Structure 1
Amino acid sequence: MKKPVIRKPLLAVAILLLVKLPSMAQQNIQFSQYIFNSLSVNPAYAGYKEELFAQLALRTQWTGLKGAPQTGQFSLDGVTESTKRNVGLGIQLTADKLGSQTANSLYLNYAYRIRLNADDTQRLSFGLGAGVTNYAIDGASLRPVEQDDPTVTNGKLSSFIPDTRFGIYYSSPKYYVGASVMDMFSGDISNDIFKWDTATQQNIKRKRHYYIMTGFLLNLSEGLKLRPSLLWKEDLKGPSSLDLNAMVIFGDRFWIGGGYRTGVNLWNKEFRQGQTLSNANSISGIIQFYASNRFRIGYSYDYITSGLSSVQNGSHEITIGLTFPTKFNRLLSPRFF
């Protein structure tokens, strides 16, 4: 049987995803600006700002490489009532495209927020998210040599996959820590994303993903703060990934800093046997500006440090956030996390 012929740009993306970029090999979408809104990685974050908050995030990855990932995400979250503020709700809409494949999802998030002290500056939240993703692939764009080759679909395939996620999030004015589990239904036989070759048991499946996040706030001087943070991403099968970030905050309005994303090897995993994969990934420059107390805009640029750097022009990401007034007059401390 002849091997399918795939357009070179799409093939390059697939190979580099699996070989050149180990810390990007996880299936979940990741944003460099998650530090401004962690709902994308932890459902327990819903309602953290205690005001109705909307954000739009647009990410173009590996610009200049045809078929490279493009992602858009809209989220809206807040608390359900103005007195106890114990319940947070959030919604996320995500559209992602990689080569011939698309993934569009809708998730609803619920967080129960426990008050830990008298002045209500510390909260412990437990969150649950549930949603569905529509995965689709256009086999015609893969251009197989033999149209009846069972290893490559020659038409369009689409499937709806339901899933859930769970998280814990603690916050105070000085630091935060959280942990979450995404894709909790992964591994179920009904969660095959695509299956067109009945002669093989191989198929694309979701993997369970684990996240650990933390960060803190340092007052350097009057009107000057430092906000370091980290995010650990793990699926127990592929490479581990670590994001290290630091932002300098001027007058609570202008943020500037950067991040470093790399693979981390804490133990020997099966996939590494006989492999010499590089941990190099990317360096990010990030800025955020509050045009008003309720409107913010952020931009980040990722410079790729792996072997992919010679065939693309980096990744761009823009976020726009808007906070809506609430009915209660409680003076909120600035939300730095």
Structure 2
Amino acid sequence: MKKMKKYILILFICSFFTFNFKGNAQALPINSQYVFNQYLINAAYGGTYLFTPIVINHRNQWVGFGESAPQTSSISMHSSIGERSGMGLYIISDETFPISRSQTQLSYSYHSVLKNKLVLSMALSGTWNIHQFSYQEGITYSEMENGITDLVNSENETESVADMNFGLMLFNDNFDIGISIRNLMAKEPIDVNIEDQIKRVRYILLHGSYMVSNPNSAIGIIPSFVMRKMGIATYNSVYEFDFNCKLVYRNNIWTGFSYRTHEKTFATLLGFNTQKLFIGWSYEIGSSGLASYHHGSHNIAIGLKIIGKNARAVRNQTPLYMNLDSEWKKIRFFNTRQHKSGK
């Protein structure tokens, strides 16, 4: 127990220093997509499951707002390689006229088995970022944002840049806590000949979850949180929290809620599992900003679980929204496979 507290303390110390270190890089909106796909926020999840998940996410934001409403889509997969490693890939695209952004990430993770069945996963990712601005010469971003100018005949400017992400995660079969530092290179200029540029800085995510369960019960509860220090000017470098809770029934159906403090957004969650497929859906509604001008946001995720003949899991517990247990009579949180440590 003392060892576990020591490792957790190390993670918090790392987060303290990184939260007070400034840089400049662009953040891509992930929002509640990570509830269905944790790999999106931390590549340290890569290769820690018994199977290879291929997940497609789509977020339709601000329904009823019009053609300029943001749209975010992603596809990802990750898998274990060898005894202690994992690799993963994701592609994410976000469009909010006149800005479109995309990022491709390729990650490698290493899993170090500690005492008391604790595992420390460390991940390093390379990313390729593409940013496109539709603009008209001589106008400012503020004029675009406020609809002062006509963009029908505007030109396009595209910039691309490479960057890196880093992730750490400490976990066992019941909990995980991690930190993800995005855009390590912190140098990603956009030159589109406009006065007002979007300020971009490195940003950090701290996350954790805990599984409350009873082996004889058909119900499990998983509370979790994500804390962000966003660097985009829109967020004014404030700390933002997400609080989530999932209620899982017989490994086949789960529901829950999520609340985001800064945007004052509340989301309802719903998911369904089979042995080879899972589907997740969420609906978000806000109470500030543009909330009165639209009808909320929808997120949908579809995941395929590929199980290899020689598949091996770093953790006994796979994420409940992708659980492999087909036994409907009771929920089973631990499978019979032996941990990599041999214990």
Moved over 6 A (4+): none
Letter paired with 2:92: T
Partner in structure 2 of residue 51 of structure 1 = 51
Partner in structure 1 of residue 70 of structure 2 = 69
Could you tell me how far apart the structure 1 residues matched to 2:190 and 2:248 are?
A: 43
Q: Per-residue deviation at 1:330? A: 5.6
Q: Per-residue deviation at 1:335? A: 1.1
Structure 1: gaps spanning 5 or more residues: 1-25, 148-152, 264-279
Tell me the alpha carbon deviations over residues 157-194 of structure 1, each in whole angstroms, 9 at most, x when there is no partner.
000021111010112111100001001122x3xx2123
Decide whether the 8 Å contact of 2:174 with 2:317 is kept in 1: no
Partner in structure 2 of residue 326 of structure 1 = 308
Structure 2: gaps spanning 5 or more residues: 1-25, 137-142, 321-343
CA change 1:257–1:144 in 2 (3 A) is: closer
Matched residue SS, 2:35: helix
Tell me the alpha carbon deviations over residues 141-172 of structure 1, each in whole angstroms, 9 at most, x when there is no partner.
9476599xxxxx94210000211110101121
**Residue number among 213, 220, 245 corresponding to 1:219 in the alignment:** 213
Matched residue SS, 1:259: strand
1:192 aligned onto 2:186: no
**Residue number among 266, 287, 293 corresponding to 2:270 in the alignment:** 287
Could you tell me how far apart the structure 2 residues matched to 1:50 and 1:130 are?
A: 24
Decide whether the 8 Å contact of 2:50 with 2:312 is kept in 1: no
How many residues were matched structurally? 279
Could you tell me how far apart the structure 2 residues matched to 1:254 and 1:214 are?
A: 22
Q: Which moved more, 1:36-45 or 1:297-306?
A: 36-45
Q: Per-residue deviation at 1:208? A: 0.5
Could you tell me how far apart the structure 1 residues matched to 2:150 and 2:303 are?
A: 49
Instruction: Work out the percentage of aligned pairs sharing the same amino acid.
Output: 24
Tell me the alpha carbon deviations over residues 33-75 of structure 1, each in whole angstroms, 9 at most, x when there is no partner.
4133211111211112142111000001111112111011000
Matched residue SS, 1:307: coil
Q: Per-residue deviation at 1:117? A: 4.5
Decide whether the 8 Å contact of 1:109 with 1:128 is kept in 2: yes
Letter paired with 2:318: R
Letter paired with 2:38: S
Decide whether the 8 Å contact of 2:59 with 2:297 is kept in 1: yes
Could you tell me how far apart the structure 1 residues matched to 2:159 and 2:170 are?
A: 36
Matched residue SS, 1:28: coil
Partner in structure 2 of residue 37 of structure 1 = 37
CA change 1:158–1:33 in 2 (3 A) is: closer
Partner in structure 2 of residue 257 of structure 1 = 256
Decide whether the 8 Å contact of 2:50 with 2:318 is kept in 1: no
Letter paired with 1:185: M
**Residue number among 203, 220, 223 corresponding to 1:209 in the alignment:** 203
Could you tell me how far apart the structure 2 residues matched to 1:37 and 1:146 are?
A: 39
Partner in structure 2 of residue 11 of structure 1 = none
Could you tell me how far apart the structure 2 residues matched to 1:330 and 1:155 are?
A: 51
Could you tell me how far apart the structure 1 residues matched to 2:249 and 2:165 are?
A: 35
1:299 aligned onto 2:281: yes
1:311 aligned onto 2:305: no
Q: Which moved more, 1:124-133 or 1:44-53?
A: 44-53
Q: Which moved more, 1:325-334 or 1:41-50?
A: 325-334
Could you tell me how far apart the structure 2 residues matched to 1:227 and 1:145 are?
A: 48
Partner in structure 1 of residue 121 of structure 2 = 125
CA change 1:138–1:92 in 2 (3 A) is: same
Letter paired with 1:63: V
Partner in structure 1 of residue 337 of structure 2 = none
Letter paired with 1:303: I
Decide whether the 8 Å contact of 1:193 with 1:205 is kept in 2: no
Partner in structure 1 of residue 95 of structure 2 = 97
Matched residue SS, 2:291: helix
- Kindly report which structure 2 residues correspond to 1:17-36, keeping only aligned pairs within 5 A, or say none: 27-36=27-36
CA change 1:177–1:192 in 2 (3 A) is: same
Q: Per-residue deviation at 1:305? A: 1.4
Letter paired with 1:88: G
Could you tell me how far apart the structure 2 residues matched to 1:240 and 1:33 are?
A: 19
Matched residue SS, 2:122: strand
Letter paired with 1:213: H
Partner in structure 2 of residue 267 of structure 1 = none
